[in-house]
C-alpha cells in the first residue's frame, strides 16, 4: 500500500459537485490511502453564515497535503461578497497558478502544448479598490517578492520538465512601473539559469500569436489578469474549457481545481465535462507524488492523463461541449474503465 494523504474537498457551486464527484471516483484506483475532509465554501455558506468560508477552514486547508476544489460563484458588482477564490489564494500563499493546455486529436481547433504560469496573488486581483463620488480606482500591485517567487517557480518548472522556452508576457511598454518591475525581475532571474531559451511578448500580441502560431509558445509566465484571460483563450483553442485543470501552488500546500467557473447555464443537467476536475485530480496526484517521493502517485497521474487522452481521442463517448451526447457520468465511467486497465486494478 502507498502512502497516506490528507486531502480537503470543496465541491463548489454550479457544476462543481457533479464533476468533483466524477473525479473522486478515480481515487478508488490509486494505491494510497486518502483521508478526505469536506470543506464547505461559497454562496450557500455565505447566505447562511455571512461568510463564504471560515478562518478555521482556511487554517485546516493550510495543514492539509492538498485540496481538490470545484468552482465557486462570485457575484459581480458592489453588493456581492469578495471572491472566495482570491481569498483562498492569498491566505494560503498559493502564488503559482499552473495551467497546462495540450490539444487532443479530433476535438481541438489548433495544435498546442502550452503551460501558462500565472501569478496568483497580486496584480489587479489585489483587491485594493475604492470609489470616489464619480470615479472608481483599482490598484494593480506588483511586488518584487511576489514576482520573483512565481518567476523562479516557472523557470524551475521549465527546467525540471525539459521544456524548451519560457516567455514572459506583459505590457511594460504602457504599464512601465508595474509590468516594468515584473519584466525586470524576469530578466534578472533568467540570467541565473542555463539551458532555457527565453523571450518576451506583449499581452495583446500574445493573444493574437496564440491563435496564429501557438507552437511558438511553450511555458508562459505572466501577471495575474493576463494569465486568467489567456488561459480561457488557450482552453477554447484546445477544444473546451471543460478539459483543463489548474494547480495553485504555494510553499506549504496546494489547491487543485478546474480552469473554468460554475457554468450556471448547464449546472444540474448532468452534462458538464468532468475532464477538468479529473485533470485537476491528476495534477494533485503528481504534486503529492513528487513532493512525497511516491512513484505510485506519479504513475497514477500519468494513467489518468492517458485514459482521458484515449477516451477523448477515440471520440465515442464525449460530452456535449465536445460535440457528443454522453452524460457526465457516462464519460466518467469510460475514463475510469480505461484508467483501471492501465493501473491494473478492478473497479
Ligand atoms: P464559466 O467558466 O463558468 O462558463 C463559461 C462557459 O463554459 C459556459 O458556456 C459554460 O457552460 C462552459 N463550461 C464551463 N465549464 C464547463 C464544463 N465542465 N463542461 C462543459 N462546459 C463548460 O464562466 P462564467 O459563466 O463567466 O462564470 C460563472 C461563475 O463562475 C461566476 O460566478 C464566476 O465568478 C465563477 N468562476 C469561478 C472560478 C473558480 O472558482 N476558480 C473561475 C472562473 C469563474
Atom of ligand 1 nearest to the CA of 320: 20
Q: Could you read off the pLDDT of 239-297 as tens digits, one per residue?
A: 899 999 999 999 999 999 999 999 999 999 999 999 999 999 999 999 999 999 999 99
Best probe residue, ligand 1, of 237, 263, 264 (max atoms within 8 Å of C-beta): 263
Work out the average pLDDT over 103-131: 93
Q: Looking at residue 344, what is its pLDDT?
A: 86
Ligand 1 contact via 334 beta carbon (within 6 Å): no
What's the pLDDT tens digit per position in 58-90?
999 999 999 999 999 888 877 667 788 999 999
- Whether 347 shows a pLDDT value over 80: the answer reads no
Which of 70, 71, 330 has most ligand 1 atoms within 8 Å of CB, for mutation? 71
- The CB of 73 under 6 Å from ligand 1? The reply is yes
Residue closest via CA to ligand 1's atom 42 equals: 261
DSSP bridge partners of 115: 100, 219
Instruction: Assess whether the C-beta atom of 87 lies below 6 angstroms from ligand 1.
Output: no
Q: Looking at ligand 1, which atom is closest to the CA of residue 84?
A: 40
Q: Which residue among 88, 262, 328 is best mutated to probe the pocket of ligand 1, counting the most ligand atoms within 8 A of its Cβ?
A: 262
19-to-78, 281, 331, 345 alpha-carbon distances in Å: 30, 11, 11, 22
Question: For residues 267 and 248, is the Cβ–Cβ distance under 8 A?
Answer: no
Q: What share of the chain is helix, strand, coil (3-state, %, to 5)?
A: 45, 20, 35
CATH of 109-237, one of 3.40.718.10, 3.30.110.70, 3.40.50.10950, 1.10.3720.10: 3.40.718.10
- Per-residue pLDDT, 162: 94
Cα-to-chain-centroid distance, residue 117 = 9
Cα(21)–Cα(32) distance, integer angstroms = 18
pLDDT of residue 44: 80
Asked whether 260 lines ligand 1 (CB < 6 A), one says yes
Close Cβ partners of 112 (under 8 Å, ≥ 6 residues apart): 101, 102, 103, 210, 214, 215, 217, 234, 237, 238
Q: Which of 66, 7, 5, 69 is nearest to 31 (CA)?
A: 5
Q: Among the atoms of ligand 1, which is closest to the Cα of residue 12?
A: 40
Cβ atoms of 129 and 334 within 8 Å: the answer is: no
Per-residue pLDDT at 345: 64
pLDDT-derived band at 1 (thresholds 50, 70, 90) equals low
Q: Whose CA is closest to 267, among 85, 18, 10?
A: 18
Question: Domain residues of the chain, as ranges?
Answer: 1-100+241-347, 109-237
Average pLDDT, the chain: 95
Q: Environment class of residue 242 by beta-carbon count within 10 Å: exposed (0-12), middle (13-18) or buried (19+)?
A: buried
pTM of the model: 0.96
Q: Which of 16-20, 104-108, 271-275 has the lowest mean pLDDT?
A: 104-108
Nearest CA to ligand 1 atom 13: 263
244: its cell numbers = 483543463
The CATH architecture one would assign to domain 1-100+241-347 is 3-Layer(aba) Sandwich (3.40)
Atom 37 of ligand 1 has which residue's CA nearest to it? Answer: 261
pLDDT digits (tens, 9 = 90+) for 199-239: 999 999 999 999 999 999 999 999 999 999 999 999 999 98
> Region 175-195: what's the mean pLDDT?
96
Amino acid at each position: 500500500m502507498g502512502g497516506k494523504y490528507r486531502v480537503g474537498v470543496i465541491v463548489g457551486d454550479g457544476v462543481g459537485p457533479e464533476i468533483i464527484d466524477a473525479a473522486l471516483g478515480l481515487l478508488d484506483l490509486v494505491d494510497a490511502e486518502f483521508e478526505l475532509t469536506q470543506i464547505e465554501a461559497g454562496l450557500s455558506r455565505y447566505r447562511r453564515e455571512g461568510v463564504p468560508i471560515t478562518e478555521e477552514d482556511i487554517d485546516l486547508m493550510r495543514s492539509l497535503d492538498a485540496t481538490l476544489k470545484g468552482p465557486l460563484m462570485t457575484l459581480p458588482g458592489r453588493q456581492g461578497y469578495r471572491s472566495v477564490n482570491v481569498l483562498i489564494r492569498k491566505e494560503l500563499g498559493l502564488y503559482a497558478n499552473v495551467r497546462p493546455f495540450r490539444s487532443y486529436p479530433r476535438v481541438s481547433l489548433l495544435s498546442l502544448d502550452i503551460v501558462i504560469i500565472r501569478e496568483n496573488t497580486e496584480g489587479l486581483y489585489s483587491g485594493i479598490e475604492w470609489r470616489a463620488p464619480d470615479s472608481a480606482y483599482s490598484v494593480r500591485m506588483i511586488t518584487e517578492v511576489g514576482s520573483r517567487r512565481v518567476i523562479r517557480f516557472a523557470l524551475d518548472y521549465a527546467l525540471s520538465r525539459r521544456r524548451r522556452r519560457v516567455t514572459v508576457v506583459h505590457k511594460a511598454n504602457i504599464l512601465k512601473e508595474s509590468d516594468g518591475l515584473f519584466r525586470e525581475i524576469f530578466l534578472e532571474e533568467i540570467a541565473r539559469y542555463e539551458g532555457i531559451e527565453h523571450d518576451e511578448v506583449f499581452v495583446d500580441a500574445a493573444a493574437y500569436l496564440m491563435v496564429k502560431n501557438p507552437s511558438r509558445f511553450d511555458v508562459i509566465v505572466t501577471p495575474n489578469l493576463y494569465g486568467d484571460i489567456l488561459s480561457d483563450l488557450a482552453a477554447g483553442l484546445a477544444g473546451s474549457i471543460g478539459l483543463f485543470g489548474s494547480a495553485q501552488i504555494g510553499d506549504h500546500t496546494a489547491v487543485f481545481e478546474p480552469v473554468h467557473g460554475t457554468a450556471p447555464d448547464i449546472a444540474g443537467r448532468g452534462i458538464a465535462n468532468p475532464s477538468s476536475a479529473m485533470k485537476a485530480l491528476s495534477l494533485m496526484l503528481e504534486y503529492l507524488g513528487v513532493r512525497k517521493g511516491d512513484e505510485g502517485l506519479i504513475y497514477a497521474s500519468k494513467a489518468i492523463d492517458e485514459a482521458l487522452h484515449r477516451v477523448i481521442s477515440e471520440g465515442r463517448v464525449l460530452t456535449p461541449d465536445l460535440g457528443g451526447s454522453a452524460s457526465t457520468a457516462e464519460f466518467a465511467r469510460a475514463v475510469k474503465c480505461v484508467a483501471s486497465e492501465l493501473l491494473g486494478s478492478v473497479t
